[in-house]
Each structure stands twice: as structure tokens, then as C-alpha cells.
């Protein structure tokens, strides 16, 4: 009996670095994921489905979604540390407290993007209901007008955004986009390789006719042994994009990088006809005789680029982005964007349900006490957590975490001696984003010829004298995010100055009367260059950037999946 009791005790405990704890849930998992934001929730699903791994997914909050949660009105006031109005004011000014599901971060879903196709294939759409935005608009400084983004070649002829001659050229260009062979513009999944000391063993040449970028011409040594493919081109060196840089400038970055050096490669699509790989986006627009004003709204309102770096990069990348926009529009003949009812916070919940069907375990209100690192191997050994005021632990050899759990102030990042944070230097601030959440009692004005209650407006950088675009997303009772006759508008952009709230002011002015406004400046945290998580098996995801759609999140999921499994992830692939 004593032996059986001892066996049972051993089974119900976990020992990490000499300390023994009662187990949490099953006690041992293939991967533990901290944070229920969309990136982490999607990783939980793909790892359980594609790898068959056991998953424990926890969050310190009382709600799903992390920094991308959807909050009720009372939660919104609390989150922004504002006093909640009394019931009478809530009724008269906000239509009551019920009926609000306000997103902290505005993100739209491309109707033909990888994410929605994955949702449909895996039946996550059974748990969620999506609807189409009414329209997409773009701002032009000339006359301070908002124009509807043309969704088809025929709409180009009636667009108020361009002159008569440009309408004809734009129609011809959009016909080319709609009819393009997709094999010529396929964006292949990039792969990253770490190179040690010594010669890398690559012969490089310019990627494009404009002498920009780096294309692999031949390989030997490390490059050959690590299976770098001749013909592939380099996209990033230590996280820095080099595609649109002058060849000599890119070479300096590569040769000057400290070892080990992390290099990301991509296979280009096959060339044919007018070469979309060797010619840049600027060359493409010149070929089609598109004016600078036309180029501006095509790139930013249809290609959804937030700046102009793409102009010096291969044209096929821009054509791929435009083709995605065109295919997304064609799905519903209205706008290219979808949005879930009851807000974006519903999506992580939908993923969690799917993960649970594969045996995954999810839990909210979990305090993260310690990310345990094995002293002998310097790799992740487990997680010490607090649940319902009791300390537990689980063992694992892999962990994925969102940035907030690695912040200097996070309990999981503290050291016993009170010295420097345990994971100091694992994350870096890439930029900041300012977001202003506004409650309106009227729809946005978008011109006398267009009526739209749910919409996106993009203010391209050149139209505002900035380096980055300003985005406006406006939602209504249609999506169950606000009561009838009330609207949620979120204005956001990448911070460029010491006065971020002034940077969204041009977008704020387009909203009209504002019932209530909630402002926040957030750091965009990313893993430091060279730390891909493989040294300690602690893999960090990135914060949400300022872009208006989810395609950048899909890319982050693909990067982390590659790091943790060594395999490429294509969400567009059909299950066998």
C-alpha cells in the first residue's frame, strides 16, 4: 500500500530544478502556449492537427484574445482606467451598457486569404459567423475627399479617384491582375537558416534589373550542406529586410553581420513573359503608365502596403497582393474584407474549441509564476503556474509565449536573486502603434454617392505627409459590436513622433462627433535578431502591428511553426 501511495504521489507531482509541485491538468505536454491571442491560438491548432502534439494553452486574463480581445463596455472603461458612467448616462449617451463587443485591435480578414480558407477547411466557421464589410475607401488630400476603392475593372471607369485617361489605364491594369496566371506570382513560404563562423559559401548576384537585392547564384560549404537552393533570393539578414536595397548595400549588411547569422531565403516563382521577378514594382507601374496618384491608392488601398518599401522590390510580390485583393472581392462582389460577429475575440475561442477536440487543454485566469529552464541543458523544462490560489506545475520541452510574458515586469521573467530579468534581451521593440477607439452615434460620412455603415478607410502616407499609412475601421450593430444606431471606429497608425495622438488626428477628423474616445500607444515587440528560440526551446511570437488585416499574423505563425518543428507551414494546403 505504501509503495502504491508513493507511486501515486510521484504521478501527481512534477519536479523542476529540484522543486516538486502538484501537477496541473495532465502534468506533461508536448508544447505549452502562454497567451490566447490569435497568433498563439492558431499555433495551438496547427500543432495539434498537423503534428498530433499534446497542447496546454493558458492565459493570465479572464478573457480570450490577449491584446486582441473584444471587451464589453464596462470592461472597456476598466481596461482604460476610466470611470464608468452611471446607468442614466450609459442609457442616454451610449444606448445602455449591453450590446458592446469592442475590439482592442482592429484587424480585417481577407475573404480569400490563407486564414479564412484554413478556418473553412477545419470547420472553425461552424463556431463563428462572418459577414462582409460594406465597402473599402481611400483618402486623397486633393479636396480632402474619400473615394471608394474600385473592386473590378468595370468600377475603374466610374472611379472618382483618377482622371479619365488613368481610368482606361487602370481598367487595363486590373484586367491583367484578375486574369494573371497565379503560378507567376506565387509567394512561396520563406525559410531561415543560421550560419556559424567561417565562410557561408554563396555566390550572389543582384536579384533585379535595378541592381537591388541578392539572388543565390551558386553554393558550397555551409550553404550547400544546409541546402540553400541556387536561384533563391535573400529576404532578410538578422531580421532586416534587404529585398529592395541596392545590391552592394545588402552585401555590406550580410558581410558585416556577426556570427552566428540568421538569413531568410525565398524561392521566386518561374519567370515568363514580362519578368515580374527581375523588374520592380516601380517598373511595373511605369510599364502600365499609371500616374503617381493611381499608384498610391493601388498600392496602399488594394495592395494594402503600409509604406513605399515595396516599390523597389520584385513586382511579383505586389501583383500577388493585388491578386489576393481581387480574388477576395470576387468572393462576395462587395468588399474584400470579412469580420466575425461579436468581434475578433470570438476567433481565438473558435480555435480553442478546435484544439480541445484534438485533446488540447485551455485555461484562463492562470498566473504564470516561472518559466523553468533546465540548469544542465539550458532549455525549457516546464511551467510553474498559479490556479485558484494554488501553485502547480507541468513539464514540457517546448514553450510558445506572447511578448507580455517576457516583459521585464512579468513574474515569469524575474530572477530569484532579484537581478536582471531572466529573459532580458530576448525581445526588442520594433516600433509603436497608436490606436484610438471611438464610439460614434452616427455612421461615417463617405461621400454622397456611397452608403456604408461598416467600412475601412486608408489614408496613404503621401496623402498625409507621413511615412506610414493611417487606418480607420468602422463597425456597427451588423457585427454585434455596438447597440443599434451606435458605431465603433478605430483609428490607428505606426508612431513616428513624440506626440502620437496628433498623428491620428487627420483620421479622427473624418469621424465627426465622438461620444467617447479611448487612446492607447502600444509597443510592437518582436524576437531579437538571431534568437529564433531553438537554443532554449522558448519561442516568442510578435505583437500585432499597425496593418489592417491578418496576413502578417499568418506570416508570424508560419515563422514560429518553422522554428519549432523544422517544417514549412502552408495554411492553403488541403488536408489529405
- SS3 of 233, please? strand
The predicted structure's pLDDT at residue 447: 65
**Rounded Cα gap, residues 565 and 537, in angstroms:** 11
The predicted structure's pLDDT at residue 118: 84
Distances in Å between the Cα of 288 and the Cα atoms of 155, 254, 575 are 18, 34, 39
Q: How many CB atoms lie within 10 A of CB 9?
A: 11
Which helix H or strand E contains 436, and what residues bound it? strand 427-440
**Rounded Cα gap, residues 343 and 338, in angstroms:** 11
The answer to whether the bond into 264 is cis (omega within 30° of 0) is no
Which backbone phi and psi does 342 adopt, to 5 degrees? 70, 15
Q: Which of 147, 56, 28, 187 is nearest to 552 (CA)?
A: 187
Catalogue the long-range contacts made by 155-164 (C-beta closer than 8 Å, 24 or more residues apart): 160/447, 160/449, 161/293, 161/294, 161/297, 162/291, 162/293, 162/294, 163/291
Virtual torsion, Cα 542, 112, 318, 550, nearest 10 deg: -20
Which backbone phi and psi does 431 adopt, to 5 degrees? -170, -175
8 A C-beta contact, residue 475 and residue 525: no
**Rounded Cα gap, residues 71 and 502, in angstroms:** 26
Q: List, in sequence order, every residue forming a beta bridge with 58; answer none if it has no partner.
A: 34, 363
Mean pLDDT per 10-residue segment, the chain (576 residues): 36 90 95 95 94 96 91 95 94 94 93 86 81 92 84 83 90 92 88 88 95 96 94 92 94 91 92 88 96 93 92 95 92 89 92 91 94 92 94 96 85 57 81 97 77 91 94 95 96 97 96 96 86 88 86 85 88 63
The predicted structure's pLDDT at residue 163: 86
Domains of the chain (ranges plus CATH)? Answer: 2-67+345-426+528-565 (3.50.50.60), 81-103+430-524 (3.30.519.10), 152-185+274-333 (1.10.405.10), 191-266 (2.30.42.10)
Q: What is the 3-state secondary structure (H, E, C) of 258-275?
A: CCCEEEEEECCCCCCCCC
The predicted structure's pLDDT at residue 240: 87
- SS3 of 575, please? coil
The predicted structure's pLDDT at residue 232: 97
Maximum Cα interatomic distance, the chain, rounded to a whole number of Å: 91
- DSSP H helices, 51-100, are 73-79, 87-94
Q: Classify residue 51 by burial, with Cβ atoms within 10 Å: 0-12, 13-18, 19+.
A: middle
Output the CA angle 175-457-186, nearest 5 degrees.
40
- SS3 of 320, please? helix
Q: How many CB atoms lie within 10 A of CB 303?
A: 21
Helix axis angle, 38-50 to 346-357, nearest 10°? 20
pTM score, whole prediction: 0.88
Amino acid at each position: 500500500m505504501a509503495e502504491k501511495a508513493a507511486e501515486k504521489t510521484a504521478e501527481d507531482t512534477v519536479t523542476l530544478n529540484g522543486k516538486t509541485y502538484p501537477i496541473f491538468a495532465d502534468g506533461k505536454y508536448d508544447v505549452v502556449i502562454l497567451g490566447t491571442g490569435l497568433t498563439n491560438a492558431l499555433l495551438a491548432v496547427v500543432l495539434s492537427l498537423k503534428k498530433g502534439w499534446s497542447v496546454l494553452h493558458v492565459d493570465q486574463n479572464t478573457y480570450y484574445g490577449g491584446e486582441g480581445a473584444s471587451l464589453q463596455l464596462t470592461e472597456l472603461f476598466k481596461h482604460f482606467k476610466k470611470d464608468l458612467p452611471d446607468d442614466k448616462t450609459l442609457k442616454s449617451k451610449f444606448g445602455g451598457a449591453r450590446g458592446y463587443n469592442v475590439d482592442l485591435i482592429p484587424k480585417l480578414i481577407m475573404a480569400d486569404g490563407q486564414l479564412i480558407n484554413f478556418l473553412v477547411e477545419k470547420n472553425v466557421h461552424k463556431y463563428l459567423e462572418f459577414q462582409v464589410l460594406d465597402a473599402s475607401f481611400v483618402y486623397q488630400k486633393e479636396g480632402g475627399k474619400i473615394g471608394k476603392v474600385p473592386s473590378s475593372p468595370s468600377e475603374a471607369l466610374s472611379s472618382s479617384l483618377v482622371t479619365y485617361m488613368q481610368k482606361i489605364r487602370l481598367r487595363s491594369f486590373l484586367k491583367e491582375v484578375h486574369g494573371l496566371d497565379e503560378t507567376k506570382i506565387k509567394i512561396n513560404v520563406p525559410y531561415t537558416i543560421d550560419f556559424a563562423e567561417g565562410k557561408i559559401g554563396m555566390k550572389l548576384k543582384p536579384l533585379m534589373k535595378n541592381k537591388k537585392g541578392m539572388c543565390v547564384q551558386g553554393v558550397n560549404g555551409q550553404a550547400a550542406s544546409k541546402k540553400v537552393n541556387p536561384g533563391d533570393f535573400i529576404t532578410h539578414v538578422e531580421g532586416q529586410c534587404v529585398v529592395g536595397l541596392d545590391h552592394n548595400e545588402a552585401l555590406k549588411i550580410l558581410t558585416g553581420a556577426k556570427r552566428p547569422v540568421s538569413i531568410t531565403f525565398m524561392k521566386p516563382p518561374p519567370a515568363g513573359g514580362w519578368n515580374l521577378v527581375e523588374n520592380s514594382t516601380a517598373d511595373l507601374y511605369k510599364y502600365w503608365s499609371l500616374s503617381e496618384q493611381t499608384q498610391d491608392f493601388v498600392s496602399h488601398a488594394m495592395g494594402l502596403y503600409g509604406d513605399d518599401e515595396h516599390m523597389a522590390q520584385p513586382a511579383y510580390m505586389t501583383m500577388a497582393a493585388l491578386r489576393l485583393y481581387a480574388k477576395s472581392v470576387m468572393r462576395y462582389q462587395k468588399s474584400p474584407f470579412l469580420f466575425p460577429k461579436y468581434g475578433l475575440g470570438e476567433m481565438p475561442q473558435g480555435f480553442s474549441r478546435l484544439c480541445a477536440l484534438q485533446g488540447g487543454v485551455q485555461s484562463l485566469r492562470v498566473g504564470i509564476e516561472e518559466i523553468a529552464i533546465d540548469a544542465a541543458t539550458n532549455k525549457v523544462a516546464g511551467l510553474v503556474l498559479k490556479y485558484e490560489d494554488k501553485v502547480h506545475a507541468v513539464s514540457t520541452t517546448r514553450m510558445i509565449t506572447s511578448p507580455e510574458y517576457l516583459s521585464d515586469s512579468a513574474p515569469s521573467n524575474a530572477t530569484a536573486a532579484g537581478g536582471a530579468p531572466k529573459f532580458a534581451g530576448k525581445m526588442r521593440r520594433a516600433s509603436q502603434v497608436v490606436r484610438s477607439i471611438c464610439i460614434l452615434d452616427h455612421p461615417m460620412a463617405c461621400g454622397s454617392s456611397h452608403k456604408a455603415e461598416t467600412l475601412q478607410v486608408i489614408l496613404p502616407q503621401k496623402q498625409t505627409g507621413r511615412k506610414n499609412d493611417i487606418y480607420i475601421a468602422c463597425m456597427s450593430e451588423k457585427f454585434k459590436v455596438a447597440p443599434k444606431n451606435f458605431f465603433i471606429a478605430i483609428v490607428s497608425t505606426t508612431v513616428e513622433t513624440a506626440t502620437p495622438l496628433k498623428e491620428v488626428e487627420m483620421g479622427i477628423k473624418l469621424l465627426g462627433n465622438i461620444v467617447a474616445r479611448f487612446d492607447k500607444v502600444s509597443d510592437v515587440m518582436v524576437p531579437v535578431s538571431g534568437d529564433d528560440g531553438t537554443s532554449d526551446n522558448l519561442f516568442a511570437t510578435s505583437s500585432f502591428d499597425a496593418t489592417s488585416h491578418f496576413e502578417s499574423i499568418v506570416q508570424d505563425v508560419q515563422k514560429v511553426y518553422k522554428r519549432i518543428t523544422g517544417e514549412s507551414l502552408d495554411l492553403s494546403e488541403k488536408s489529405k
